[in-house]
Amino acid sequence: MEDQELVKTIHLFFKAILRLRQNMRQRINKKLKEHGYSDITLEMTQVMYYLRYRAYEGHASQQEIADRIGKNKSSLTSLINNLVKRNMVERRPDLTNRRNNVISLSPKGKEFMYKLYPTVYKTYDIAKLSLSLDDIQRMTETMNRIIES
């Protein structure tokens, strides 16, 4: 592939990824609004997802969450403050290290994750897109290889 064609292809690839991200954000925000959660953002749902499905024993330190969802600690502090204000998560001092906080889902946050999270994230009709689970897994693996390179 010529250099010029390579540059153009890479540019179009990154442009498509950014457009997909923007489109997903818009669709997810629309679904959240439809279900009465217009004050919850995509980033907030990422924090709650991590706490629900990935965190050991359902709670994690702010630093662990920041590392896992790709946010810096100051951005995450703002997200957590907003989630605490909305009663979606609880923050308490870490008993083993008072300088750290432990974050966990509140009962309201657990209810949101159980009832609405799956609905909110079904923003695309995969069958209409003619994508199989294997297709989605391969795309995910490809993007992860790019991230790790």
Digit-coded pLDDT (tens) for 78-113: 999 999 999 999 999 988 888 888 999 999 999 999
Give the pLDDT confidence score for residue 98 in this predicted structure: 82
Q: Output the domain CATH number for residue 95.
A: 1.10.10.10
Q: How many domains does the chain have?
A: 1
Task: Write the burial class of residue 42 (CB in 10 Å: 0-12 exposed, 13-18 middle, 19+ buried).
Answer: middle
100 burial type by CB count under 10 A (0-12 exposed, 13-18 middle, 19+ buried): middle
Q: Is the pLDDT of residue 129 over 80?
A: no
Q: How confident is the model at residue 12 (pLDDT cuts 50, 70, 90)?
A: very high
Range of the domain at 54: 39-115
Question: Does the residue 108 lie in any domain?
Answer: yes
Considering the domain boundaries, does residue 53 fall inside one? yes
Q: What is the pLDDT of residues 25-83, one digit of tens each?
A: 898 899 899 989 999 998 999 999 999 887 778 889 998 999 999 899 889 999 999 99
108/76 Cα distance (integer angstroms) = 20
20 is a domain residue = no
Is the entire prediction scored with pTM above 0.75? yes
In a domain, 92, yes or no: yes
Within a domain: 58: yes
Phi-psi region of 81 (alpha: psi -120 to 50; beta: other; left: phi over 0): alpha
Residue 65 lies in a domain: yes
**72 falls within a domain:** yes
Neighbours of 1 (CB within 10 A): 8
- Specify which residues 103 forms β-bridges with: 60, 91
Indicate the pLDDT class of residue 130, thresholds 50, 70 and 90: confident
